Amino acid sequence: MVTTVKTEEYIIAEEPYYLPAGIEIQTFEAAYLNQIPVLLKGPTGCGKTRFMQYMAWRLRRPLITVSCHDDLTASDLVGRYLVQGGETVWVDGPLTRAVTVGGFCYLDEVVEARKDTTVVIHPLADDRRILPIEKKGEVLTAPPQFLLAISYNPGYQSVLKDLKQSTRQRFLAIEFSYPDRKFETAIVIHESGVDEPTAGRLVSFAEKTRNLKDRGLAEGASTRLLIHAAKLVVSGIDLRNACRTAVNLPLTDDREMSEALSELMQSVF
């Protein structure tokens, strides 16, 4: 039996696990109070989405997440008319819903979206805080509880996928990176239930792969990958195999690099 929960009713009930690395929580809260939208920067798998969940829980707001892709248009965000039983019915898009209920709208990997989405983001992201709905000829004003957040990974190199200055300069930016060894170990332990020595090893291995960024690897192993590996270990898969499946193979297709990674891994474990 599948239960349907309306997005706007989706309030995170339990506290998501989040270990602050700096003052990001205070910064976010200040941004929320001052109604300034937030840009989360950082490599993949370092906790951006988890941070959003945590903040939504902390501030008791519904969180609506949209994963952007290259076919995502403005009307996908705002909404459209649909025909239902001979009647036309307006269906709100996620952004409209978030504005209406005063929730958080989180546009993940916003650079992937089509350029025309900026048209709806821009007026929402400056001091006007309005969402024009062209089809209905309406303009929604966002309540103070509404917050727009976008995420972006500056590591991607395609020049065609860059955030425009006019978009960037509407946001506060919070930078994320991989947590410190101590924190990261704690995170891996908490998320997977693995024992501390193993978690420590995994983190130490991840650090070594991060040394290889720009030396053949586009990016080092993320915390998320480590958690995956740790979960496999908890499920009874031996450490080396877990690491191979969860870390090495996802990271690279290059044979030589993958060999070097597995040598590193075998040395660490």
Partner 1 sequence: MSSDRQYTGHFRKDFIRNLRLDFFDEEEIRALLAELDSLDPAIRQQTFALCHSLSHASSSLVPNTLRRIQRASRSLSPKDLGRWIGHAYDLLDHHGIGPFLSFISRIDEETLRDFTTHRGLRLQEVAPVLETFLQGISGRELRIVQDTESHTDTVSVYLPAVVDRYVKRSRNYSIFKFMVSHQWAQLTCGTLTPDEAVLRRFLREETPGEADIASLFSQFGERSFAIDLYTVLEGIRLEAFLVRELPGLMREIPDIKKDIMALRPTPLGSSLKETVVEGLLHVYLNGDTDSTTPEVIAAFSDETRDLKDAPDAGASLRLLHLFYEAATRQNGGYVARKIPLLGTIRPDEVSLQMKAERRARRQMIKGMITRLMTMTELRPREMPHRKQADIRRAPDPLREYLLIKGRAIELDRELKKVLEERGCIPGGIIVHGSDLGGSVSPLSLQELVEDEEEIPGRTEGGMQYDEWDYKRGGYKTKWCSLHEKTIHPGHEPFVEQTRSRYSGYISILRKKFELLKREPRIVRRQKEGDDIDLDATVEAFTDLRAGLSPRDDLFTRYDRQERDIAVLFLLDMSGSTKGWICEAEKEALVLMAEALESLGDRYAIFGFSGMTRNRCDYYRIKGFEEAYAETVKRRISGIMPKDYTRMGPPIRHSVHILKSIEARTKLLITLSDGRPEDYDAYRGAYAMEDTRKALTEAKEQGVHPFCVTIDREARSYLRHMYGEANYIIIDDVRQLPGRITDIYRRLTV
- State which amino acid sits at residue 88: T
Residue 190 interacts with partner 1 (CB under 8 A): yes or no: no
Contact by Cβ (8 Å): 93, 76: yes
CA distance 53 to 37: 16
Q: Does 116 bind partner 1 (CB under 8 A)?
A: no
Residue 241 engages partner 1 in binding (rule: CB under 8 A): no
> ∠ CA 101-13-148 to the nearest 5 degrees?
40
In degrees rounded to 5, what are phi and psi of residue 29? -65, -40
CB of 106 to partner 1, least distance (A): 24
Question: Which CB atom, from 1 or from 83, has the smaller least distance to partner 1?
Answer: 83
Write each residue from 55 to 84 as x if it is in contact with partner 1 (CB under 8 A), else as -, in one continuous string: ----------------x--------xxxx-
Distance of alpha carbon 113 from alpha carbon 255, whole angstroms: 33
3 vs 158 by CB, closer to partner 1: 158
Which one, 196 or 259, has the nearer CB to partner 1? 259
Contacts with partner 1, 125-154, as mask; x by CB under 8 A: ----------x-------------------
> Which helix (DSSP H) or strand (DSSP E) does residue 67 occupy?
strand 63-67
Q: Cα–Cα distance between 88 and 119 in angstroms, integer?
A: 25
9 versus 138: smaller Cβ distance to partner 1: 138
Residues whose CB is less than 8 angstroms from the CB of residue 4 and which lie 6 or more positions away in sequence, other chains included: none
Q: Is 112 in the site for partner 1 (CB under 8 A)?
A: no
Which tokens hold the place of 159?
A: 């020049």
Q: Examine residue 257 and tell whether it contacts partner 1 (CB under 8 A).
A: yes
**By CB under 8 A, residue 85 contacts partner 1:** no
- 263 near partner 1 (CB under 8 A): yes
**Interface mask (CB under 8 A) for partner 1, residues 9-48, using x and -?**
----------------------------------------
User: Using the rule CB under 8 A, which residue among 68, 113, 212, 226 binds partner 1?
Assistant: 212
- Match 């965000």 to its residue by tokens: 77
* SS3 assignment, position 95: helix
Q: Choose one: 28-36, 46-54, 105-113, 203-211; the region binding partner 1 (CB under 8 A).
A: 203-211
# chain residues binding partner 1, by CB under 8 A: 35
Q: Which residue in the block uniquely carries the two structure tokens 């958690």?
A: 227
Q: Is 203 in contact with 269 (CB distance < 8 Å)?
A: no
Q: Do 45 and 88 form a contact (C-beta atoms < 8 A)?
A: no
Determine which residue in the list 209, 222, 223, 248 makes contact with partner 1, applying CB under 8 A: 209
Q: Is 163 in the site for partner 1 (CB under 8 A)?
A: no
Q: Which of 92, 86, 72, 98 is nearest to 138 (CA)?
A: 92
| Interface residues toward partner 1, by CB under 8 A | 71, 80-83, 87-88, 135, 157-160, 162, 201, 204, 208-209, 211-212, 214-216, 240, 256-257, 259-261, 263-269
